[in-house]
A and B are shown apart, each in its own frame.
Chain A
Amino acid sequence: MTIFEGMASGFFQSTSLAVFPYLFAGSIFGLIIGVIPGLSGHFAMAMAVTFLYTMEPAAGIAFILAAHATVAQGGGLTAILFSTPGTGQNAATLLDGPPMRDKGEAGIAVGAAMASCFLGATFGAIVLALLIPVLREVVLFFGPPEVFVLAFLALTFVAVLGKEDMTRSLIAALLGMLLAMVGVDNVTNTFRFTMGSERLADGLQLVPVILGLFAVAEMIDLWVRGGTLAKDVPTALSAKETQKQIFKGIGLAFKNWWLVMRCSAIGTGMGLIPGLGSAPASFVAYGHAKQSSPDRDTFGKGNVKGVIGPEAANDAVEGGALASTLAFGIPGSSSMAILLSGLFILGLETGPRMLNQNVDIVFVMIFTIIFGNLIGTIIGMFLVNPLSRATSIRASVMVPVLMSVIATGAFAGERAIFDIGIAIVFGILGYAMKVLNYSRAALLIGFVLGFAVEKNLYLALLLDGPLFVMQPIPLGLMTVTIIFLGWNIYTIFRDRRRVIPK
């Protein structure tokens, strides 16, 4: 089967009556899971997999992939409207999404987010299609030395995020890395920072930490100051106004198409690398969007580009992650692992065989991602109105309701009450950080990348010795990192010197 035959077959299969309803159902399922804070793509896949035992291959794939694809869209919605990231991928949207809502531009933010999601996902899916002939070679590029340097580079974006106070951001990022080390070390089987608690032996789970740092902290803030979620807009926007804003937001995403493409490229590229996960991609994209924008000082205060960048990236990650999973049958993340078993249950093999014989199934996947996101965008638009009204309900009602939703989300991941405690502890920490002006995003990046950095450093040293940095790709990336850091430090000092004479 040639690629074109596969493409045509895949297209017709995914739009057929036997498959499309599952695609549709999967998209809606994923969107809902995404909107509920704490339930992530991993959870959606886990739930979806149990249905696969009775489905036909194409239908099953459409269902499970569509669900995974739209989770980030739903997550973006709640991140903007309720300052609560639906998933880890949406954490970067918290930086500019809620400020836009506070300014009364919630509709614009949501419209831009959904459209960027769709564009990013399409980009990722197309790249996946184009890479099919060379998938294996491309993914093999990245071994422990390369991943280590890349993770380190992503960490330095922290400097950009916290430009106003780089020291505090660095402290936060390093604290995040420290927290990533809680638990049993995979390499030496030593218990680190577990303080005798068996629960902590598994390490801190990402979901309760994110929920605590961002969602619970916001709840504490809201409770303390009273008022409504949308700070400066006490009365709700009318439905018509919101609808107009949404269309404006969608328009803005298309207008900034070059930014969308660059951020999607970042997302897909980072998705190809196994083990990094999707949260770092959205932060790196945010950093890039800020860095490359003339009005970078408005970032953090409600600049729509700060929403477009991360949302485009976190959906583009999908295509990249799928590429490396399909090329080898080796999953790059836990949700991909579940997808892989889903494929297995459906009787499909991955690896070169799939790319040679079942290319039409690969295209079913590609079209599922595209259509799934499109459906998610359209349905999501209808969800926005009722949800955005909630941002004008006063704190004394919102906080208890949202806290119970958050607590459920924290519990759902590992069915552990302990995780709710973690969320609360991090909520207090997050609130303190907010008050003291430490970047929570930096802590999150440090936390998420901590694993990748440590594990890959260890493997790189074991496999190639301390000179692993001298290999071509790591050397190139290190040079980029040093230049990037150097430039940023220089501009900070330069700007400071400029301000003082006044």
Chain B
Amino acid sequence: MRRTFLKSATAAVVAITTLGFGTTVAAQDAAEFYKDNVIKWIVPYDPGGGYDEYSRIIIPYFERYTGARVDIVNLPGSGGMKGAVEIFNSPADGLTVGIINGSAMVTNQLAEIEGATYKVGDYNYLGRIVADKRVMVASESSGITSFEDLMNNGTTEIMGATGLGGSTYVDAVITGEVLAIDQRVVHGFDRSGDIRTAMLRGDVQTMWGSLGSALSGIEDGDLKIILHGEKVATGMLEGIPSIYDIAMTMDDGEKRVKILESWEALSAVGRPVAAPPGIPEDRLAFLREAFAQAMNDPEFVASSLESDRELSFATGEDMSRIAKSATELEPDVTELFVKAIRGEI
């Protein structure tokens, strides 16, 4: 009987010590696991693009805080979907992460595009690097100087967009529908750069895009921002109406605002860094911590501002929430979006 007692006592002691040190041991394990290990970082676009650039700027800091070496792998294709799928299906050992075109992946999933075999809500997010502010610009040659002009001048403006389902297209169609803008959306341009050229030629008058990409055009005097998608206008956007301002002046204002908020949720997904579903909790926590430290490192923030790359950090937990809310929209809103993405509006 003593033996059994001793046995169970030893077992209890061992159990308690393990539980007690359990969490610290796990944290220790994660750091040790990553030290001098190799993390694969997938970029779903060619080198030189925005996603690739952001990755290359942050990776040295990420390496510093994980203790691991990070290898970039460029996997372009299907407008960013190939890389996103690759990340989703990677081994869940915590050694593969990647940056994804969040908004595009959400729209692909909502519209059930062929090949969208991932679930945006199921990724393990490390955090978000940036969410671009969306703005509508009008060309100098169009003579439109404000959104009021646009609505009151009685002409049907031509709005340029890239491919169906792309952000320029979805922005144009959703806002056009909700704010009853008299416009004709011409899509099929290869890249937003081509739309800009068309604006300079006078073929196209307006387009939606990110604030960052419009900056150079504004400085050159070719473009003017006439509308934006932020609830609170800061910096350059002060004095320019937001979609919410306009929506509230229309009847059924509340309903319109709700749709616009869902649209904003879509853009809020932005450019997150994610790992596949199912990786061990401790490793995910470690990666999230390292990512947060890298994003908040003063040196990193300074160098990013220098290269004119905006940042809007969100933690991994926040990101999961944002991603879920972007994909779990109300049925009528989802229906509207799907129609927009498929070009049926």
Contact = CB atoms under 8 A, between A and B. Distances in A.
B92 interface: no
Contacts of A130: none
A202 to B, nearest CB: 5
Interface in A182-199: 186-189, 191, 198
A344 B307 contact: yes
Nearest to B215: A349
Contact of A459 (B189, B196, B200, B308): B189
Interface stretch (B4-12, B70-78, B286-294): B70-78
A187 B188 contact: yes
A462 interface: yes
- Size range of the chain A interface in the assembly: 35 or more
Nearest to A339: B48
A281 to B, nearest CB: 19
Residue from B77, B78, B82, B188 having most chain A Cβ neighbours under 10 A: B188
Contacts of A486: none
Contacts of B216: 329, 349-351
Contact of A186 (B46, B158, B163): B163
A458 interface: yes
A501 interface: no
Nearest to A415: B75
Contact of A45 (B48, B164, B186, B343): B48
Contact of B200 (A140, A202, A463): A140
Interface stretch (A256-264, A282-290, A330-338): A330-338
Interface stretch (A46-54, A296-304, A430-438, A440-448): A46-54
Contacts of A345: 53, 307
B307 A328 contact: no
A21 interface: no
Nearest to A52: B48
Interface string A29-47: 0000000000000000111
B53 A341 contact: yes
B84 to A, nearest CB: 13
Contact of B197 (A47, A330, A458): A330
- Size range of the chain B interface in the assembly: 35 or more
B190 A49 contact: no
Contacts of A310: none
A458 B56 CA distance: 37
A342 interface: yes
B115 A198 contact: yes
A368 to B, nearest CB: 18
Contacts of B191: 331, 337
A347 interface: yes
A458 B193 contact: no
Contact of A352 (B50, B78, B220): B220
Nearest to A454: B188
A143 interface: yes
Nearest to A50: B47
Given A342-B48, A344-B307, A459-B186, A201 B56 contact: no
24 contacts: A139-B197, A143-B198, A186-B190, A187-B163, A189-B164, A198-B78, A275-B190, A328-B196, A329-B216, A330-B193, A330-B194, A334-B46, A337-B46, A337-B48, A341-B49, A342-B48, A344-B53, A345-B53, A345-B307, A353-B220, A458-B188, A462-B188, A463-B158, A463-B204
Given A202-B77, A328-B200, 13 more contacts: A46-B48, A46-B74, A47-B47, A140-B201, A186-B188, A187-B187, A189-B163, A202-B82, A274-B194, A334-B46, A339-B48, A341-B53, A414-B77
